[in-house]
Amino acid sequence: MAIIFIHPPTLGARLFNPGLRSTAVGCLILAGNDFPEVILRSLQSWKMRLRVLKVEDKPSTRGLLVYEDTVFGKKSFSYVTPRLQPSLRHLEGSNLLRSKSFHILASPDDLVAQVSALRRLRDRYKIPGRPLIVWEPAPLTCDISTLIAHLEACKHVDVFSPNHLELGYLVEGKERGGSSFSKPAIESQARSFLHYGVGENGQGLVVVRCGEHGSLTLSGSGAEWLPPFYDKPTTRVVDPTGAGNAFLGGFAAAFQETGDAREASICGAVAASYAVEQFGVPKLSRNSYFSEELWNGTSVLARREEFKERLAEAGVLYSHGDEMLQRTSRSAEWADYYEAQRSIYISKKSTSNSTTAFCSVEHPGTFGRQHVLTTHTMGYTILGKEVGPIGYGLMGLTWYPTTESTVEEKIAMMKAALEAGANAWNGGEFYGTSLQDNSLSLLSKYFDKYPEDADRVILNIKGGIRFPMDVDNSPEYTRESVQSCLSLLGDKAKIDMFEMARRVSQAEYLESLRLLDRLVKESKIGGVALSEVNANTIRQAVKITKVAAVEAEISLWVTDALTNGVCEACAEFGIPIFAYSPLSGGILSGKAKCPEDIKNVFAKQRPRNQGENFEANLRLIEKVEEWAAKKNCTPAQFAINWVASLSKRPGMPTIIPIPGGGSLERVRENTKVVELTNEDMDEVDAYLKEFSHTGERVSPELNKWLDTTDTIEI
């Protein structure tokens, strides 16, 4: 019986990019004239960026993998058709060239040539940033005779990942390498690569995939072993083929996003667990209530958390061989061997032939090793729903009675935001000309037209303000406010989060939090969020209810939340922040050069934006324009993505900017993701340390609504 496999690194990356984030995974396939439709349909169902290039005059690449026992031990592989080999020319004209990480299976010489060519091509197209390069050495080239070539090539990648047998073959030769499994021996072998240097600055990782023995991740800070997810005999393990490759896909996806090798290894182990549960690929389905993806009937994120709990209970996150961790330089024996072999390698290098093609990320199965390229980024999950790195604020669509846009045009803007990945929507009961003409009434019209989008959007709705602007924290009005919102929305969509817009009455506010907690348990709303609160209120609120999110103003123009403890408290409790007004009323778009240019009525009222204060702050706008020019983006895009990039800074929580946009052009501009590097963020940090904002951020009339209470008693 023929069994068809789909490329496992693609599977591993896709598992950790669910829902709307699925398009962050890219896959390039060279398909011969007999490429099976069943594979193509399976990949298409995963909703990735799929680039299939047909080769009409040749058959698809096929290979034969033979296990020589019944426990999936010794095996052999051979190609049964000529290989179709991808090259960089297949990426030109494709968004895949802009990927943040590349998984390459290649010989050492080919790896070096292709990484260099990749960087030249990205420079030609002015693609910013340096992608993560994950190298899986071509198995047939792993032998002690090619050790130095592999060591030299490691300087061009960020992650070097052989399996333990390939590592043994490289260091000890095929006769001795891998003859028995020994953790100290594997660490010693892996450390030889780390000491020689992995990565341009020697800051890379060695990740050794060890099958049923788990994995080893080795970095300058130490060595960590993880067991596999299935660490005991179980009938759930059906076929281990491709598990190591799936591990690497999950690892790369998580490491590119978090930079945390331990978290990446955990994700890799979870990805591998799905690869072994069947012949072929796991079944993808969806939970209709939360619209959560299920693979083989289980949640990937839930399995990851289960694995973490098991690891914590067992205490298995440890470093093996402490004496090895203290070694900071390679031994004299290794040094002599390196130098002797290096001279031989250099003398032969000019005459060697490359044997493996660029991005031949291959999977052995009855239907060959599919030559594909996997790319990925990651998003966030809130209340079981995946959200993009940028959200969308609905306030401007209904707040102003003089808006010139028709309902149809507003719906088109909302659709454009969603299709751009901005699915975290923020609205308000009081965002409108009346309590019957507001964000909820517009949302109702939207879901009338696009009912299928109800599960794709995560809605955060503010209430608790009597029209037009009278804050009421009482439980009675909070219940009335929730019910009004539910009535306007009907059964067309779920209110994922409800928040009281401001806290003005301590006792009533706390009672209303208790009420909202009960409404969550009654399934009236999905969760409780907070708005414009200080750190003390956050710490007290988490004692009453699970806080799903905090809404706070964060922008280059208003940075208070970064230093007043709000971000610190959210990071402490794992609470994401919806950052409203990331353009500070449009000021950071660069279009306002004097106070008279400010169009937003609320922005006009702020002392910071008036008279001499604005003139003093104008140099920040000019600096944003300068930074944006370097990134080849608009000032608005730089300002919004600076807020989004705060999520990756040490000690910061997840921060999702929620810009508005009153036209299709503005929506598309404001929802575009622009990658800011650590160097970009460091440059902004350095400037902000020297820059002092002049003037208060809110007008005296609104100052009474600020949460300035030092303590709250419960």
Within a domain: residue 511? Answer: yes
- pLDDT at position 702, please? 60
pLDDT for position 376: 33
Which member of 274, 345, 431, 446 is catalytic?
431
The answer to whether residue 258 is domain-embedded is: yes
pLDDT at position 351 over 70: no
| Residue 410 confidence (pLDDT) above 80 | yes
Interatomic CA distance for residues 83 and 421, integer angstroms: 37
Last residue of a domain, one of 346, 378, 410: 378
pLDDT of 150 > 90? The answer is yes
pLDDT given for residue 340 in this prediction = 45
Give the model's pLDDT for residue 711. Answer: 43
Q: Is residue 711 part of a domain?
A: no
Q: How confident is the model at residue 400 (pLDDT cuts 50, 70, 90)?
A: low
Task: List the domain range (segments joined by +) for residue 591.
Answer: 381-703
- Residue 325 is predicted with a pLDDT of 29
Task: Tell me the pLDDT tens digit for each residue of 166-198.
Answer: 999 999 888 776 667 889 999 999 999 998 999
pLDDT of residue 531: 93
Specify the CATH number for the domain of residue 697: 3.20.20.100
* Domain co-membership, 179 together with 130: yes
- Please answer whether residues 443 and 427 qualify as being in contact, where contact means their C-beta atoms are separated by less than 8 angstroms: yes
State the pLDDT at residue 352. Answer: 34
Which whole number is the average pLDDT over 601-623? 78
The verdict on 211 and 67 lying in the same domain is yes
Does residue 3 fall inside a structural domain?
Answer: no
What local confidence, expressed as pLDDT, does residue 704 receive? 56
Asked if residue 567 belongs to a domain, the reply is yes
CATH number at residue 108: 3.40.1190.20
Greatest Cα pair distance in the chain: 83
- 691 with 676, same domain? yes
- pLDDT value at residue 401: 52
How many structural domains comprise the chain? 2
Last residue of a domain, one of 345, 378, 411: 378
Residue 290 and residue 394 in one domain? no
Are residue 255 and residue 358 in the same domain, yes or no? yes
Q: Are residues 633 and 610 in the same domain?
A: yes
For 542-600, how does the pLDDT look when each residue is reduced to its tens digit (9 = 90+)? 999 999 999 999 999 899 999 889 999 998 888 999 999 999 888 888 777 777 777 76
Q: How far apart are CA 227 and CA 183, in angstroms?
A: 12
Confidence of residue 5 (pLDDT cuts 50, 70, 90): very low
Q: Report the range of poorest mean pLDDT among 130-139, 292-301, 432-441.
A: 432-441
Q: What is the mean pLDDT of residues 353-367?
A: 29
In a domain, 464, yes or no: yes
The three-state (H, E, C) secondary structure of 29-52, written as one string: EEECCCCCHHHHHHHHHCCCEEEE
- Give a yes or no: residue 92 inside a domain: yes
Query: What secondary structure does DSSP assign to 296-351, as a single string?
Result: TTB-HHHHHHHHHHHHHHHT--B-S-HHHHT--S--HHHHHHHHHHHHHHHHHHTT
* pLDDT tens track for 624-645: 999 999 999 999 999 999 999 9
By mean pLDDT, which of 270-284, 357-371, 534-548 is the weakest?
357-371
Q: Are residues 133 and 84 in the same domain?
A: yes
Across 351-371, average pLDDT = 29
Q: Which of 178-182, 269-273, 674-678 has the lowest mean pLDDT?
A: 178-182
pLDDT of residue 521: 93
What is the Cα–Cα distance from 418 to 545, expressed in whole angstroms? 29
More confident of the two residues 275 and 707 = 275
Task: Say whether both 293 and 402 belong to one domain.
Answer: no
- Is residue 427 a part of any domain in this protein? yes
Tell whether 356 and 480 lie within a shared domain: no
Is the entire prediction scored with pTM above 0.75?
Answer: no
Identify the pLDDT of residue 347: 41
Q: How confident is the model at residue 346 (pLDDT cuts 50, 70, 90)?
A: very low
Percentage of the chain surpassing pLDDT 90? 46
Taking CA atoms, 518 is separated from 375, 498, 526, 584, in Å, by 43, 12, 11, 35
**What pLDDT sits at residue 657?**
97
Tell whether 304 and 240 lie within a shared domain: yes
Question: The dihedral of CA 118, 122, 123, 128: what is its sign?
Answer: negative
Query: Given this model, what pLDDT does residue 142 score?
Result: 92
Q: Name residues whose C-beta falls within 8 Å of residue 467's C-beta, 6 or more positions apart in sequence.
A: 430, 434, 435
Mean pLDDT over 331-349 rounds to 42
Could you tell me which of 486, 207, 245 has the C-alpha nearest to residue 369?
245
Shared domain for 344 and 434, answered yes or no, is no
pLDDT of the residue at 15: 92
Give the model's pLDDT for residue 1.
Answer: 21
Residue ending a domain, among 378, 397, 418, is 378
Please, are residues 145 and 188 in contact by the beta-carbon 8 Å criterion?
Answer: no
Residue 348's pLDDT is what? 36
On whether the CB atoms of residues 116 and 145 are closer than 8 A, the answer is no
Per-residue confidence (pLDDT) for residue 20, from 0 to 100: 63
431 is catalytic: yes
Mean pLDDT calculated for residue range 536-543:
91
Mean pLDDT of 294-301: 92
- What's residue 441's pLDDT? 92
pLDDT bucket at 699, cuts 50 / 70 / 90: low
SS3 state of residue 76: strand
Residue 363 shares a structural domain with residue 425: no
Residue 86 has pLDDT above 80, yes or no: no
Per-residue pLDDT of 16-71, as tens digits, reads 888 767 777 888 888 899 988 888 888 888 878 778 888 999 998 888 878 766 65
Residue 703 is predicted with a pLDDT of 57
pLDDT at 4 exceeding the cut of 80: no
Q: Tell me, what DSSP letter sits at residue 511?
A: H
C-alpha distance from residue 167 to each of 72, 136, 189 (Å): 19, 11, 7
The predicted model gives 501-525 an average pLDDT of 91
d(Cα 224, Cα 319) in Å, to the nearest integer?
Answer: 5
